[in-house]
Amino acid sequence: MSGRLTREAVLDETLKLAADHGFEAVSLRAVARRLQVTPMALYRHVGDKQGLLDGLVERLLDELPVPDTSMPWTERLQALLAAMRTLARRHPDAFFILLRRPATTPAALRRRDAVYSALADAGVPSTSIPRAERLLSTFVLGFAASEAGGRFTATRRELDEDLVIVGGMLPSLIALVAAAETTDDGRVLQGGS
Amino acid sequence: MSGRLTREAVLDETLKLAADHGFEAVSLRAVARRLQVTPMALYRHVGDKQGLLDGLVERLLDELPVPDTSMPWTERLQALLAAMRTLARRHPDAFFILLRRPATTPAALRRRDAVYSALADAGVPSTSIPRAERLLSTFVLGFAASEAGGRFTATRRELDEDLVIVGGMLPSLIALVAAAETTDDGRVLQGGS
DNA sequence: ACCTGAACACCGTTCAAGT
DNA sequence: ACCTGAACACCGTTCAAGT
């Protein structure tokens, strides 16, 4: 509010702007206007436009509950999935940024580690865990982005059911990935067609 | 080139611009400049900015080979997957648009129908086909967008292997979706956590 | 019907300058 | 170290006018 500008203050105001007028209204100039500061003042604190968006997404991920490790692994994964979907509804465009950036920020890593530990508890061999997480997060991000972006023509009820079905399939899916991995002898087929 | 402006000429030039300077260089003004025309002249032919992008994506989808129905269904699905991935490499940003728009254009519908018929040949009951296609395309678009957008930290080789594994899992996956559907008695669980 | 000209209300970013 | 002012090179879109 008063005194010196900080990275925190910039991201707080960015979050408010996104909540008020949506993600697409986020611009360096608009944030600067709300802070009563010149656009160039922001560069020192968040870098450039991409830095501002990264900071915003990091804040949103921080709001996601990370399920307690005392819960069964299936419930933990389903809780993470539900949390992502809630986020997708409130901030649809956040997922398009997540699809463009590797999980390197603290909040993203915490979330990924939660998936890793759930997969370990599910009995996935450690060598298969990164692959299983990659395939899982690809589906989850793709689903959230599709729903938020308006790609699906199905009803909300059908989409809810999609996730219930996928949730129920999780143990089988994970077993399939683990099995494929151990079967694989190192030769990689090229999808030549 | 000469004579009157047409929708085709506008999209041709847009495609060239995207090929030369990338998707993010596509703007109404830039396309108009190349056509030696005022920006406003484009509105009559492609609508607004979103219309221009939709037209561009439609053109790109049209380039994708649609596998012959004489091939086994597994190969057809894998061919579609490989084609999408090739597109992802040449035009990474196209997928972020596909994630935002329902498949309503002719080229998109042709591609979706190819998946439908492959799933039918796979023995998926007709009531389950839309769901199976939805889940499959969610994964495929999510994977292509993740790879193109730079989300993955895995090597190209590991990602190739991911798709080989998923390709090999297809029959089991499809069986799982079909089974879940018939088991379901209509009650939808809410992921309440 | 189809295209132009001028204008409006924005963008991100650089660079030199102030304190 | 931190912020400002002015400028550069862009955007999408509307509206009235020309042919």
* Percentage of residues of chain B with pLDDT beyond 90: 85
A138 in helix, strand or coil?
A: helix
Write down the pLDDT at residue B182. Answer: 59
Contact B157, A149 (CB under 8 A): no
Write down the pLDDT at residue B186. Answer: 44
Q: Tell me the pTM.
A: 0.91
Interface test mutation site (partner A, options B131, B133, B135, B138, max chain A beta carbons within 10 A)? B138
Interface test mutation site (partner B, options A78, A89, A111, A138, max chain B beta carbons within 10 A)? A138
Instruction: Determine the residue type at B8.
Output: E
pLDDT < 50 regions, chain A: 1-2, 184-193
CA distance A75 to A167: 9
CA distance A159 to A152: 9
pLDDT category of residue B106 using cuts at 50, 70 and 90: very high
Q: What is the DSSP string of A94-108?
A: HHHHHTTS-S-SHHH
CA distance B173 to B182: 15
Reported as half-sphere exposure (CB side, CA atoms, 13 A), residue B117 has a value of 16
Residues in chain A with CB shorter than 8 Å from the CB of B173 are: 173, 176
CA distance B193 to B188: 15
Burial of residue A162 (number of CB atoms within 10 Å: 0-12, 13-18, 19+) = buried
The separation between CA B76 and the C-alpha centre of its own chain, rounded to angstroms, equals 15
Asked whether strand C has any atom less than 7 Å from the CB of B49, the reply is no
A123 in helix, strand or coil?
A: coil
Q: Which residue of A has its CA nearest to B159?
A: A131
- How close B69 comes to chain A (CA, Å)? 14
pLDDT in tens, A99-134: 999 999 999 999 999 999 999 999 999 999 999 999
